[in-house]
Amino acid sequence: GALKRAVERGTLLEVETTVAGASETVYFANTAKGRAAVKSIERGGWPDELESAARPNVFAMYEANIGTLTPLIADELRAAEREYPAEWIEDAFRAAVSLNKRSWRYIHAILERWHTEGRGEGSRSSEAERRRYVEGEYGEYIEH
């Protein structure tokens, strides 16, 4: 389409790279900065910056989903960025907002739980919790 024609006539530069684990085609204007960016990607030195730019930062997520950022909350958000992966923070915001729990304390509790109990898909209960139902008060009603 139009992008291919722009690349063919030299208006845009095209380069393949990996962003967030997926192969992506990235386009730059054919300027000094665009050519420098393409060279940097070809040397393998730039995809991390692309990945972080594609992901909203924790401060923007807070203001978009919870409210005005205060200095104390900003400090807590910086600490969370150092402690937890960006994907976890984004998913915790998404989980809290989907339940209409728009509070940093709620989001932080999700992150702490994932940190201590693991973040596996499916059941997150421990073996002891599962056995409580099988051998506990109603154990006589369960075949095992």
- pLDDT, residue 124, reads 47
**Rounded distance, CA 117 to CA 126, Å?**
8
pLDDT at 10 over 80: yes
Q: What angle do CA 53, 59, 64 make, to 5 degrees?
A: 100
pLDDT digits (tens, 9 = 90+) for 81-128: 999 998 899 999 999 999 999 999 999 999 999 999 888 754 445 566
Q: Which two tokens mark 82?
A: 């150092």
pLDDT at 116: 92
pLDDT at 100: 94
pLDDT at 48: 53
Cβ–Cβ under 8 Å, residues 19 and 2: no
Q: Is 93 exposed, middle or buried (0-12, 13-18, 19+ CB in 10 A)?
A: buried
For residue 16, the one-letter residue type is E
- Total residue count of the chain as it appears in this document: 144
Q: By the 8 A CB rule, do 76 and 108 touch?
A: yes
Q: Which fold has domain 56-144?
A: Arc Repressor Mutant, subunit A (1.10.10)
What are the domain boundaries of the chain?
2-54, 56-144
State mean pLDDT over 42-49: 68
User: What does the alpha-carbon distance between residue 107 and residue 76 come to, in Å, rounded to a whole number?
Assistant: 11
Residues 6+ apart with CB under 8 A from 56: 64, 90
Mean of the per-residue pLDDT values of the chain: 82
Q: Is the pTM of this model over 0.75?
A: no
- Mean pLDDT over residues 61-78, rounded? 92
The pLDDT confidence band at residue 25, using thresholds 50, 70 and 90, is confident
- Pairwise pLDDT comparison (4 vs 46), residue with the higher score: 4
